[in-house]
Amino acid sequence: MKGKKVKDCCVTLSHVMLPEDANPAGNVHGGVIMKLIDNAAGVVAVRHARCNVVTASIDRLDFHSPGFIGNLLTLRASVNDVGKTSMEIGVRAETEDLMTGQVCHTASAYLTFVALDKDGRPCPVPPLISENDVQNRRRREAKARRTSRLEEKKKEKRCQSSHEGCA
């Protein structure tokens, strides 16, 4: 299977935040931002795998600053690393006050997607080709997060079968 470059799959999506995206005080709901993050990451995953994909997990979702009605929410998403059938996608969300031009880092997230074949079973994804130091660093960090996720899953499984040492 031929590898793919990060730049061939990344995406930038923008949305104007409207009243239906916010609470009565004008703050954009975190769930709206989360949904748009998932959509942007899903586009990247499909571009990389060129098949159906599903969100397997959201490793981190950190909110840094609020968004408001009238802001332009821009999401930048790219593949950080790939496994056999899975991909970690990183997404950065920023809001821009269109009147002042001020841009704020609103949220960041790491999502894992699994590629599916026509029968809905996990299928192989193309290898990732890193082209620079930033992409190499992101791959190393993604591998570390994957190792942590797998250790946490093992711990959860142990705790489900025996409550000793689980808090």
Q: Could you confirm whether domain 4-131 is CATH 3.10.129.10?
A: yes
Task: Say if CB 63 and CB 15 are below 8 A apart.
Answer: no
Cα→Cα distances 141→50, 84, 91, Å = 25, 17, 14
Cα(first)–Cα(last) distance of the chain, in Å? Answer: 44
Q: Does residue 60 carry a pLDDT above 90?
A: no
pLDDT-above-90 percentage for the chain:
87
Q: Does residue 87 carry a pLDDT above 70?
A: yes
pLDDT tier at 1 (50, 70, 90 boundaries)? confident
3 phi, psi to nearest 5 deg: -70, 160
Identify the pLDDT of residue 153.
87
**Measuring CA to CA, which residue among 22, 41, 33 is closest to residue 104?**
33
106-162 pLDDT, tens digit each: 999 999 999 999 999 999 999 999 999 999 999 999 999 999 988 988 888 888 887
What is the C-alpha to C-alpha distance for residues 7 and 49, in angstroms, rounded to an integer?
A: 14
pTM over 0.85, yes/no: yes
Helices (H) and strands (E) in the chain, counts: 2, 7
Task: Say if CB 37 and CB 107 are below 8 A apart.
Answer: yes
Domain map of the chain by residue range? 4-131
Please state, rounded to an integer, the average pLDDT across all residues of the chain: 95
Identify the pLDDT of residue 82.
98
Lookup: tokens for 88: 């970690």
